[in-house]
Structure formats: C-alpha cells, structure tokens
C-alpha cells in the first residue's frame, strides 16, 4: 500500500502558509527536534531562503538580516529576544515612542529657565516628567539592543546612524542623572547640585534638545529629506565656495571703492549735533548729497548708518554688507546711502550687478542642487520600495514552485479516500436541497402588510432613482453653482461701516442659502445613500460646511456666543467657494515645467523649437528663414490685384533687408525718444524737440503700414495685414499716435492715456526678431498652461480676504498716541520725547487713522494678502571702524608691489616658455596678462598721483571724475586666478557659460518689459514731488528713465515695493516745477498704481525667477560633458 504522506513538519519543502492552515504557528515547537535553529539546522521552508527580514524604522527602509546571536548569548529562538523583537516591531510601540518624543518636545518648549538656578513649580514638575521620558527611551534602547545586538554584526543597533544618535542621547541623559544624584548631598545648597566636582551637569542636560531629532528615525519621509541634504553636501561645497568667492570679490571691490564713505553726514556748524532726525551720508563736494539746510555743513566722524554696522571700512564689515545685499533685504538702503555719499554714477553698477549675479544666479544654484538631489533620493526610495515588493513576490513564487511536489503528492495519496467520501454524500445533499425548496413552497401566503411593505419599497426605489437622476443632472449642477455664487456675493458685500439695511439683508440671505444647501445635502443623501454620498470628498466637505453653518446659526440665535466666535464660525460658509473647483478643476501639474521649458527650449534663439516642456507645439513652427511670404491672391483695397506692379514693388520693398533693418532702427530711436522725455516739465524745450521727432517717427511708421497693407491687403482675405496679431499691434501703436496728434490739450485724460500707449512701440520689434518672437509665444503658451493655477490662487486669496473681512474689518484703525485705543479717546494733543530725552518735548495732535493695508472690504483684504504673500514688509537691520594707519597703508602698498612683480615674472616666463601665440590662446592666460598690465598701471598711476597730484587727478576723490580706486580693482581680479586651479569651480563656471547661452532673447524680453513699465511710470507718476522720508525721494523716483528703471529693479527684487505703490496713490504732493496749477498741489499720483505695481511684480515673478532657477537646476545635469572632455588647448601649471 502507498505510504502515508509526510506531515508538514517532516517534509523539507512544506510552505509556511500550509503550516499556518494546519494549526502550526510559525515558531513551530518541533523545530529543535527536526534540525531547527537550536541544532544548527534549517527550518522547513527556509532551506533555500534568506533569513527572515523585517522592516523597521531603526534598521533602514529596506529589509535587513538579523544576526543569529545578540550580546553573545541570545539566539533568534531565545524567548527573551523573540519577545523583544515582537515589541520593537509592533506598530503601536512605534506610535508610542513617536508620541513620547513629541511630548518631550512640548515639555522642552514650555520649560522656562530662570537666572541664578531659580525655578518655579511648573519647571519642577517638568523636571520630574523628564525622568519618565528618560525611562521610556532607556527601555526602548535596551529592547532594541536585545533584539538586534549592540555593535559587532552588520545589522546591530549602533551600526545605524540614527540609532547611534538615540543611543548617545540616552547615555548622556543617564550619565547626567547619575552625576546629579551622586553629587547631591543632604544639607547641601540646591544650586550646588549642578556642578559635581566642578563639572556642570546642566551642560549635559543641553543634550536633551537633540531628542526632537529622533523623530527623523521614526518618519521615513524625513529620511529622504535628510539623506538628500547629506548627499548634496559635496556639490554644495563647490557652490558654497563660489558664493564665498563672490562675496569676497565684491567685498574687496567695495573696500576699494567705498572705504570711509559712510562716515560723513550733516551737522550744525560749530556743534556735534546732527541736523537730521534720520541722518544719511553726504559728500564734501562732487555729485553726492549736499547739506542744503541753513547753518549746516557736511562733516566726518559720524558712526554711520545702522549704528555703524553697514559700511565698507574693513574686510569683515564689507563681507557683512555684501551678504546683506545678496539676501536682497535692505540692499536698496545701502545703495541709496552710497549714492548720497558719492553720487549716482558708480554705486548702482556695483549693487545691481551684485544682486543679479549673487542673488538671482549663484544662490539659485543651491536650489538647483537640492532639487536635483531630492529627485534622485525620491527615485531611489521608489526603486527600493519596488525592489522590496518584487523580492517578496519572487519569494512567494519560489515557495509555490518549491513546495508543489509535496502538494501534488498529498493530493495523489488522498485522492481515493476523497472520492469514496464524496459520492455517498451526493444523494443526501440533493435530497436535502429538494426538501428545502419544498419547505419553502409550503410556507404561508404573504399577507396584506407584506404586500404594503413591498409596494412601499418599490415606490422608494423609483423615487430614489428619480432623485438620483435629478441630482446628477446638468440643471441641478448649475442651480447649485448659482447658489454658491450668490452666497459668495453675499459674504463679499460685507464691509466696514456698512448701513444697517445691508446687514439685515445679509442675515436673511445667509439663512435662506443655508436652508437651500441643507436641502441639497439631504436630497443627495437620500438619492445616493450614505455610503455612496460620503465616498466623495466634496460631499463630505459640503456636509461639514452645512453642519457648521447650522451650528453657528443655532448658537447665534440662542445668544450663546461672543461676537468673535460668530465671525470665526461664519467663515466656515466661505469654504463653499471650493465647490466651483469641483467641476472646473483641470490638471495644473505641468504649468511650472512648461514655464521653465520655455527658457530651456526657446531661450537659445529658436533652437529646439518643436518642443516645449515635452509637448509638441505645431503653432510655433516658423517658415524657413529665407522664405518670403507670397502676395495673397485677393486684391488690395478692391483695386490692386496680386500682379499689380505697384503691389509687387511694395511687396519687394517691405521684404528687403535694408528696409527691415531701417524700420528696426527707427523703432529703437523712437523708444529712446520716449525714454528721454521730461515727465515733470511738459512744455520744456527738450519735450518740444522730441515732439517733432515723434511726428517724424509716426509718419515713417504710418508709411510702413500703408506699404504693408498695399502688399498684403487690409483684412478681408486670408494672409492680409490685419489677420496677423503682431500686425494689429503695429496698427494699434501707430493709430494711437495719430489720434493723440489730433487732440492737443494734455489736460484731457483720454489724451494722457493715448500718449502713455505710445510706450508699446518697442513691442513692434517682436515681429522682427524671430528668437524674441519664439520667447513671447512660449510665454503665452505657458500662461495658458498655468491658467488653472492662477484661478485657484485667486480663489484662495478671495476666500481668505473674505475671512479677513469677517474677522478684522475696522480693526486696523489706531491713534497716533499709542496710549489711546478708541476714537473717543483719540482727541486733543500729546507730548513726544525724542529718544526718551525729557528735556526736548514736542507737541503733536492725536489723529485716528486707518492702516494702509486693512481688511475693511474684500478688495482691500486681497491687496493686503497679496502684499503678505510676497514676503515684503518684514524689517531687517544688521549691527562698526575705519581709518587705517599710515604704516599699515605703507606695508599694504609694498606687498602690492611685491605681488605685482611676482605675477609679472610669472607672465614673462610663460610667454618665453609657450611663445606669445600659444600663450594667448588660453583664455586664462589672457586674463592673467590683463591683470598684470592693470596692476602695473595701478602702481604707476598711484605713485605719480602721490608725487604729483596735480598732473592727473584732483586731491578730492569726491570731485574727481575718474577715481584712482578704479585701477585698484585689478588687484581684486587676481583672486579670479584661483578659479583656474579648482576643477569643481571650473566645472561650475563652464555650467554657467553654457546656461547663459539660453538667456539672450529672454533677457531682451525682460529688458523690454522694464522699458515699457519705466516709460509708463514716468508718464504717470513722474510729477510726484521728491520728499525725504517718503518712498518717492531723491534716490527713488520716476523723474528720469535711469531712475525709473532702477526703481523697477528694486520692485523686481521685492524690496518694499508695496511702500512705493502707496507713495504713488492719489493725493500726493506735485513737484514744484510741474505744470500743476493753483489748488492742484496735491493732485499727483493715480489709482492706476495698484494695477501698475501688482502687474509688474507678477510679471517679474513669472519671468525673472524662472529665468534664473533653471540655471541652478542645470548644475545637476550639465557638467558631465565638461568632465568627460576636460582637454584644454594648453594646460599650464
């Protein structure tokens, strides 16, 4: 007879799943007797398998191998170790430890230190709770050491970095507690317990602040972040060196150009008292700020702005000032101080180049590297997870294949017995089935109650089906959308100081809309059923909003809430605005990629024009460069056919390259004439001359348009002039100029608008520069792509603005006397003591005024939120030395001569060794030669100027047009020689050069936007008077084109742009030299400033930042070609 099948324990390939099914636990007690781990054998199902693995927060993200022994004595089957493993890998245990860490963080945060070892009851209780935390962390550490071992094998507890941190924190905590207990003696002063044997135990307690880091070991996603940062350290080191290098170079340049400039200000003659409340630097002579007040003079020995911290007097303060400018916080203040100290010619070049290069590009490299490392780490984590799943799947497949023999054998041996047991039971089962059916037929007939219930259920199904169709219909959707819109209008209409009838109407409307939304929710619940209704997130959201509204209404009606609570609960209704996004939301994930793809694919002058962020854009395809568009078939002006000689000649003329280039030159000249206008003195001789030039340019552009209309026709047929959007732009610009010529009165607002529209002339160059045209097309495509993002952002701002109106309307009013808090108290006058000096009081009137940014209505709230979202309005002030001794200057000059001589000898030796032709083939050698020549000129000019100061320069650097410090810049350029020695820095510079190839046309578009906004600003805000203490002052204004561009550049960096906007609103003082008549002294400024500044800031955020960011991201991918082909023509030591 066949032998009985082996038991699962006896068969070598018995699967663990079958062991469980047969009632055997995974530990299986008979393991030791069957060659289990106790005898060094392999348990069943493990012969060809890896040791069991486990996922654990302390052991890495993937599976690890447990050591057969822990602490030299505990095997895997040891009950103590098995219990420890079960506990530390139990999910609730992880949650408990994370909760304990969080509670410990809270305890550390609420602890209040007192001087002289003093304490209070709360601190004493927190000290006692610290012992509880320490016990819990100690128990966790011991359990993990028992489970995984200590240090000797690869998977040991301390071999993991985060576990090592946990271990050190616990050991230091235990050590501090032991020292504190040992050192504490009865009768000893309490404060002495902190220093046993001269050692401060409280210094060890400081290690408790590291406990929050243990959260990292418990949250896998934080592993990815920290691992990315750690792995980014190597590439970040090169970037950090470059950032430091830029700071050092600009600090030395600033030291050479601006040393000692910040220590002169206006004093009263014969006194050491400063003449201004807020002093600024001044200049003895030259183009700096002069002291114009009576009885004042410009004098030195002033400590300088910001308490003497912001200066270029020595290398370290220069580095601090440069770093402040790179962060773009307060950099314009430093620029304006330097302009006051030495004029407007030189400082703006230094500071603008520092911000562009140091902030927009170098610092963005850090973001590019971190972004690349985060992406790589995410991919690695995903690959690890996929590999883990694949390995588990393969393990299961191996189990099934390896154990199939045993399963097949067991089925063959038991087949006969199964057949024998199965057939006799068949008739009985069939009989039972038949009897059951018969019994069912013999049941009693349904009574009237059952028939009624069945009819009601049928009617309920029909009604629910109809309700389901109704709530899913288009008309129901639009009805609900209309209610949402009405609800939004009701809430948005609330504002500060509204009449009582509007408040009453809003209350009734809110109750009615709440009833309708509640009815909608009940109808959907009935139609869809609770399970189907709550399966949708938006339905759960609607339910929350309705329940919150009902609760609020009930509490308000019962008078159980304070007004503040009413406002907060009322805000819940605003969340219904999100219902709009339920049906209209689109995929916005590709917006940023498309924006950045624009610069990558279009910036290089039309290269790779078929791709934009991975998408194929057929509309951007251009005809070949030399192909001329043919004459359209239709007639021009209903008279000239396609073969008419006049039309053919016009067509040939407008496509001639001389004509095209000439029109481009006239466009540039007309733009220059717009920038040269005087916005303050409208009837100045300069404006009259520029007006004649404007007539000439407009005539030329009109002739050009007539020629093009003759060649292509006007607009009726395909290919005609007006069928092209860029041609329509040309027509608009020329038409505006012609209409403005027909109306001569500049007082008419329409004429002002038409003259401002002349600023669109530079846009006509877009149609004549193919690369620029590609960039503009990319911008429009990107705007369409991120349209949904802009809608959602606007929706969020609107919603939070409504919440702000509910909470803060009328709350931003204040009194000039800070001791008064109500309008009734804010009357009369009060005393102010400057700098706390009670001997110099001043009397001021109490005024009740509103803040410039408030939440009195929805539009004002959106303006305030937009300003906050730009991270502006945050004050930043950093915290002093100059005047080097003559011996120090002498030593520095001597060292400069020595180094110049060494570099000169180096250059001569290289020229002799490599011959001049080969030497100057290397760009670095050419650069070295330039530095040497400049340094020699520097020494020569310096010595001649010292010996004979009357030959080249005047004695005062303030009044000299060419400063001697210009030649000293060649000393600074020697630092750049270091760049040729480091491969990492050279690779980074090579990346910079390659990435800048994508910039020209994008930079041209940005320059065009700056030009347009600068001219508009001159025409609109140029007449605002320059007043110190306001944002429209001698350094920051729209009265000249360069000043307007510099002001806009400040706004682009986000430097207090909102204050400039407020200073440009209506009601500002007009410039005394403007054409404002009597009674019109305070009529300058315009509400257009809000649209002007917000649109400019958004355009800069959309264009300037995405222009700089991809060049940081290029660092992750670009350097490889240089690394592989690092062959220079003449590599010199």
Tokens representing 666 are: 């006239």
H/E stretch holding 296 reads strand 296-299
Q: Helix, strand or coil for residue 638?
A: coil
pLDDT per position as a tens digit, 126-163: 888 888 888 998 998 889 888 888 888 888 888 877 78
pLDDT: is 568 or 807 the higher one? 807
When mean pLDDT is compared across 43-47, 197-201, 319-323, 758-762, the lowest value belongs to: 43-47
Mean pLDDT of 247-262: 85
Mean pLDDT of 19-40: 39
Q: Which residue intervals of the chain bear CATH 1.20.120.350?
A: 54-218, 645-765
Q: What is the spatial distance between Cα 1039 and Cα 1062, in angstroms, rounded to a whole number?
A: 17
Question: What pLDDT is stored for residue 437 in this prediction?
Answer: 45
The confidence band for 451, taking pLDDT boundaries of 50, 70 and 90, is confident
**pLDDT for 1080 beyond 80:** no
> In the CATH scheme, what is the code of domain 886-981?
1.20.120
**pLDDT for 890 beyond 80:** no
The confidence band for 1039, taking pLDDT boundaries of 50, 70 and 90, is confident
**pLDDT for 252 beyond 70:** yes
Question: What pLDDT is stored for residue 750 in this prediction?
Answer: 61
List b or e across 512-550, with b for residues whose CB sees 16 or more CB atoms inside 10 angstroms.
Answer: ebbeebeebbeebebbbeeeebeeeeebeebbebbebbe
pLDDT per position as a tens digit, 855-864: 888 888 888 8
The answer to whether 1082 touches 1070, Cβ cutoff 8 Å, is yes
Question: What pLDDT is stored for residue 20 in this prediction?
Answer: 38
List b or e across 413-427, with b for residues whose CB sees 16 or more CB atoms inside 10 angstroms.
Answer: eeeeeeeeeeeeeee
The confidence band for 217, taking pLDDT boundaries of 50, 70 and 90, is low
**pLDDT for 189 beyond 50:** no
**pLDDT for 989 beyond 70:** no
Question: What pLDDT is stored for residue 11 in this prediction?
Answer: 45
pLDDT: is 1050 or 559 the higher one? 1050
DSSP 8-state secondary structure symbol assigned to residue 76: T
Mean pLDDT of 372-380: 74
pLDDT per position as a tens digit, 860-885: 888 888 877 776 643 333 333 344 55
**Residue 846: CB partners within 8 Å, gap ≥ 6?**
815, 816, 817, 820, 826, 827, 828, 829, 830
- Phi and psi at residue 100, to the nearest 5°: -65, -40
40 conformational bin, left if phi > 0, alpha if psi -120 to 50, beta if neither: left
**Residue 697: CB partners within 8 Å, gap ≥ 6?**
666, 669, 670, 673
Q: Which residue intervals of the chain bear CATH 1.10.287.70?
A: 231-377
- pTM listed for this prediction: 0.58
Q: What is the spatial distance between Cα 933 and Cα 926, in angstroms, rounded to a whole number?
A: 11
pLDDT: is 824 or 440 the higher one? 824
In percent, the amount of the chain with pLDDT more than 70 equals 69
pLDDT per position as a tens digit, 391-408: 888 888 887 877 776 777
Q: Helix, strand or coil for residue 849?
A: strand
Tokens representing 172 are: 């230091």
Q: Mean pLDDT, the chain, as a whole number?
A: 72
Tokens representing 8 are: 């699962």
Q: What is the spatial distance between Cα 957 and Cα 942, in angstroms, rounded to a whole number?
A: 13
The confidence band for 202, taking pLDDT boundaries of 50, 70 and 90, is low
Q: Is 398 annotated as a binding residue?
A: no
In words, the CATH class of domain 645-765 is mainly alpha
**In terms of Cα–Cα distance, which of 235, 242, 260 is closest to 975?**
242
Distance from chain centroid for Cα 619: 31
**In terms of Cα–Cα distance, which of 904, 887, 893, 916 is closest to 967?**
893
Report the C-alpha dihedral over residues 927, 931, 937, 942, rounded to 10 degrees: 160
Q: What is the spatial distance between Cα 949 and Cα 955, in angstroms, rounded to a whole number?
A: 7
581 conformational bin, left if phi > 0, alpha if psi -120 to 50, beta if neither: alpha
DSSP 8-state secondary structure symbol assigned to residue 265: E
The answer to whether 126 touches 110, Cβ cutoff 8 Å, is yes
Question: What pLDDT is stored for residue 4 in this prediction?
Answer: 43
Question: What pLDDT is stored for residue 727 in this prediction?
Answer: 81
In percent, the amount of the chain with pLDDT more than 90 equals 1
**pLDDT for 455 beyond 70:** yes
pLDDT per position as a tens digit, 703-721: 988 888 888 877 777 778 8
Distances (CA, A) of 27 to 14, 23, 59, 645: 14, 11, 23, 102
Q: Helix, strand or coil for residue 982?
A: coil
- Phi and psi at residue 956, to the nearest 5°: -100, 130
pLDDT per position as a tens digit, 648-700: 888 888 888 888 888 888 888 888 888 888 888 877 888 888 888 888 888 88
Q: What is the spatial distance between Cα 505 and Cα 687, in angstroms, rounded to a whole number?
A: 56
pLDDT: is 1023 or 980 the higher one? 1023
The answer to whether 984 touches 1126, Cβ cutoff 8 Å, is no
Q: What is the spatial distance between Cα 754 and Cα 1085, in angstroms, rounded to a whole number?
A: 18
Q: Is 256 annotated as a binding residue?
A: no
**pLDDT for 478 beyond 60:** yes
The answer to whether 257 touches 313, Cβ cutoff 8 Å, is no
Q: Helix, strand or coil for residue 615?
A: strand
pLDDT per position as a tens digit, 49-105: 444 444 443 343 344 567 788 888 888 888 888 898 889 888 888 888 888 888 888
Fold category of 231-377 in CATH: Helix Hairpins (1.10.287)
DSSP string, 805-829: HHHHTT-SEEESSTT--STTT--SE
Question: What pLDDT is stored for residue 152 in this prediction?
Answer: 82
**Residue 665: CB partners within 8 Å, gap ≥ 6?**
none
pLDDT per position as a tens digit, 943-966: 665 555 544 444 444 443 344 445
Tokens representing 331 are: 């950099």
Q: Give strand ranges (E) for 811-930.
A: 813-815, 829-833, 841-845, 848-850
**pLDDT for 343 beyond 80:** yes
Indicate the pairing of strand 611-612 with strand 53-54. unpaired
Q: What is the spatial distance between Cα 609 and Cα 602, in angstroms, rounded to a whole number?
A: 6
- Phi and psi at residue 849, to the nearest 5°: -130, 160
Question: What pLDDT is stored for residue 835 in this prediction?
Answer: 63
Q: What is the spatial distance between Cα 388 and Cα 837, in angstroms, rounded to a whole number?
A: 74
Query: The domain 54-218 is classified under which CATH number: 2.60.40.420, 1.10.40.30, 3.40.50.300, 1.20.120.350?
Result: 1.20.120.350
**pLDDT for 1125 beyond 50:** no
pLDDT: is 998 or 358 the higher one? 358
The answer to whether 52 touches 65, Cβ cutoff 8 Å, is no
Question: What pLDDT is stored for residue 566 in this prediction?
Answer: 39
Question: What pLDDT is stored for residue 800 in this prediction?
Answer: 78
Question: What pLDDT is stored for residue 1105 in this prediction?
Answer: 57
Fold category of 460-492+518-584 in CATH: 1.20.120
Question: What pLDDT is stored for residue 235 in this prediction?
Answer: 73
Question: What pLDDT is stored for residue 713 in this prediction?
Answer: 79
The answer to whether 899 touches 974, Cβ cutoff 8 Å, is yes
The answer to whether 311 touches 265, Cβ cutoff 8 Å, is no
> How many residues does the structure list for the chain?
1133
Q: What is the spatial distance between Cα 169 and Cα 513, in angstroms, rounded to a whole number?
A: 58
**pLDDT for 770 beyond 80:** no
Question: What pLDDT is stored for residue 179 in this prediction?
Answer: 81
């Amino acid at each position: 007879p066949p032998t009985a099948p082996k038991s699962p324990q006896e068969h070598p390939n018995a699967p663990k799943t079958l062991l469980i099914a047969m009632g055997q636990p995974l530990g299986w007690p008979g393991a030791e007797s069957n060659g289990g781990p106790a005898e060094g054998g392999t348990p069943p199902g493990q012969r060809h398998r890896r040791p069991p693995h486990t996922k654990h927060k302390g052991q890495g993200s993937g599976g690890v191998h447990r050591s057969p022994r822990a602490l030299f004595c505990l095997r895997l089957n040891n009950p103590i170790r098995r219990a420890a493993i079960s506990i530390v890998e139990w999910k609730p245990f992880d949650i408990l430890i994370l909760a304990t860490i969080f509670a410990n963080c809270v305890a550390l945060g609420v602890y209040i230190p007192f001087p002289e070892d003093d304490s209070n009851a709360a601190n004493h209780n927190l000290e006692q709770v610290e012992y509880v935390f320490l016990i819990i962390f100690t128990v966790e550490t011991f359990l993990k050491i028992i489970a995984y071992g200590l240090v000797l094998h690869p998977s040991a507890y301390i071999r993991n970095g985060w576990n090592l941190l946990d271990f050190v924190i616990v050991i230091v905590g235990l050590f501090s507690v032991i020292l504190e207990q040992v050192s504490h003696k009865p009768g000893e002063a309490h404060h002495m317990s902190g220093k046993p044997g001269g050692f401060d135990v409280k210094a060890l307690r400081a290690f408790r602040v590291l406990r929050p880091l243990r959260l990292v070991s418990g949250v896998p996603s934080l592993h990815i972040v920290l691992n990315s940062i750690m792995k980014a350290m190597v590439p970040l080191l090169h970037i950090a060196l470059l950032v430091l290098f830029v700071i050092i170079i600009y600090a030395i340049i600033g030291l050479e150009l601006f040393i000692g400039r910040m220590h002169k200000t206006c004093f009263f003659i014969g006194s050491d008292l400063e003449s201004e409340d807020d002093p600024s630097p001044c200049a003895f002579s030259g183009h700096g700020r002069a002291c114009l007040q009576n009885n004042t003079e410009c004098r030195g020995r002033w400590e300088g702005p910001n308490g003497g911290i912001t200066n270029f007097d020595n290398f370290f303060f220069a580095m601090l000032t440069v770093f402040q400018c790179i962060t773009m916080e307060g950099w314009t203040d430093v620029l304006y101080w330097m302009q006051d100290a030495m004029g407007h010619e030189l400082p703006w070049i230094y500071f603008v180049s520092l911000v562009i290069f140091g902030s927009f590009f170098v610092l963005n490299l850090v973001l590019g590297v971190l972004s690349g490392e985060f992406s790589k780490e995410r991919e690695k984590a995903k690959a690890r997870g996929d590999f883990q799943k694949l390995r588990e799947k393969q393990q299961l497949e191996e189990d099934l294949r390896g154990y199939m023999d045993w399963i097949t054998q067991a089925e063959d041996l038991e087949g006969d017995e199964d057949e024998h047991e199965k057939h006799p039971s068949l008739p009985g089962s069939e009989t039972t089935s038949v009897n059951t059916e018969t019994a069912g037929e013999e049941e009693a007939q349904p009574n009237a109650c059952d028939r009624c219930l069945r009819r009601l259920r049928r009617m309920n199904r029909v009604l629910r089906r109809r309700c389901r169709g109704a709530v899913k219909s288009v008309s129901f959707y639009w009805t609900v959308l209309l209610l949402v819109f009405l609800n939004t209008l009701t809430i948005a209409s609330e504002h500060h100081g509204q009449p009582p009838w509007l408040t009453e109407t809003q209350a009734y409307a809110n109750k009615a809309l709440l009833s309708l939304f509640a009815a909608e929710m009940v109808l959907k619940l009935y139609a869809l059923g609770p399970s189907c209704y709550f399966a949708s997130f938006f339905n759960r959201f609607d339910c929350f909003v309705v329940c919150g509204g009902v609760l609020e209404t009930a509490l308000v009606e019962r008078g159980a809430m304070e007004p503040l609570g009413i406002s907060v609960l009322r805000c819940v209704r605003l969340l219904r605005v999100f219902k709009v996004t339920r049906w209209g939301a689109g995929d916005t994930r590709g917006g940023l990629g498309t924006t950045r793809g624009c610069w990558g694919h279009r910036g290089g002058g039309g290269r790779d024009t078929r791709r934009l962020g991975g998408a194929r854009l057929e509309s951007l395809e251009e005809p070949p460069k030399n192909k001329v568009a043919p004459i359209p078939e239709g007639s021009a002006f209903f008279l000239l056919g396609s073969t008419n000689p006049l039309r053919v000649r016009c067509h040939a003329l407008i496509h001639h390259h001389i004509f095209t280039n000439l029109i481009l030159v006239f466009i540039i000249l007309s733009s220059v004439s717009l920038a040269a206008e005087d916005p303050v003195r409208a009837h100045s001789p300069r404006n009259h001359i520029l007006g004649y030039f404007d007539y000439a340019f407009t005539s030329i552009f009109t002739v050009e348009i007539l020629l093009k209309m003759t060649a292509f026709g006007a607009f009726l047929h395909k290919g005609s002039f007006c069928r092209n959007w860029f041609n329509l732009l040309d027509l608009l610009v020329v038409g505006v100029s012609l209409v403005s010529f027909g109306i001569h009165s500049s007082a008419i607002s329409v004429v002002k608008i038409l003259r401002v529209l002349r600023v669109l002339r530079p846009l006509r160059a877009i149609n004549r520069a193919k690369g620029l045209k590609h960039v503009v097309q990319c911008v429009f495509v990107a705007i369409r792509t991120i349209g949904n993002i802009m809608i959602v952002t606007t929706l969020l701002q609107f919603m939070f603005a409504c919440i702000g109106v509910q909470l803060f309307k009328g709350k931003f009013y204040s009194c000039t006397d800070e001791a008064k808090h109500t309008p009734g108290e804010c009357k009369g006058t009060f005393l102010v003591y400057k700098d706390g000096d009670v001997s110099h009081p001043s009397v001021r009137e109490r005024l009740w005024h509103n803040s410039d940014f408030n939440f009195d209505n929805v539009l004002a709230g959106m303006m305030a939120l937009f300003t906050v979202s730009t991270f502006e309005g945050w004050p930043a002030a950093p915290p002093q030395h100059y005047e080097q001794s003559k011996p120090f200057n002498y030593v520095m000059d001597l060292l400069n001569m020595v180094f110049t001589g060494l570099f000169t000898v180096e250059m001569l030796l290289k020229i002799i060794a490599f011959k001049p032709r080969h030497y100057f083939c290397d760009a670095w050698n050419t650069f070295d030669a330039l530095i040497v020549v400049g340094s020699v000129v520097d020494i020569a000019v310096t010595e001649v100027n010292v010996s004979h100061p009357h030959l080249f320069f005047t004695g005062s650097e303030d009044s000299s047009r060419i400063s001697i410090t210009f030649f000293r810049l060649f000393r600074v350029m020697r630092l750049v020689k270091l760049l040729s020695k480091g491969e990492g820095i050279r690779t980074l510079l090579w990346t910079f050069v390659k990435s800048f190839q994508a910039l020209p046309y994008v930079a041209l578009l940005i320059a065009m936007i700056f030009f347009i906004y600068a001219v508009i600003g001159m025409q609109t805000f140029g007449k605002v008077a320059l007043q110190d203490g306001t944002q429209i002052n001698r350094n920051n204004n729209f009265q000249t084109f360069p000043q307007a561009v510099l002001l806009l550049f400040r706004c682009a960096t986000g430097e207090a742009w909102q204050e400039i906007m407020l200073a440009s609103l209506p009601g500002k003082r007009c410039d005394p030299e403007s054409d404002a008549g009597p009674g019109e002294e305070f009529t300058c400024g315009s509400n257009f400033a809000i649209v002007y500044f917000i649109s400019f800031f958004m355009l800069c955020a959309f264009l300037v930042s995405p222009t700089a960011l991809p060049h940081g991201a290029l660092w992750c991918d670009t350097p490889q070609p240089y690394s592989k082909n690092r062959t220079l023509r003449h590599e010199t030591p």
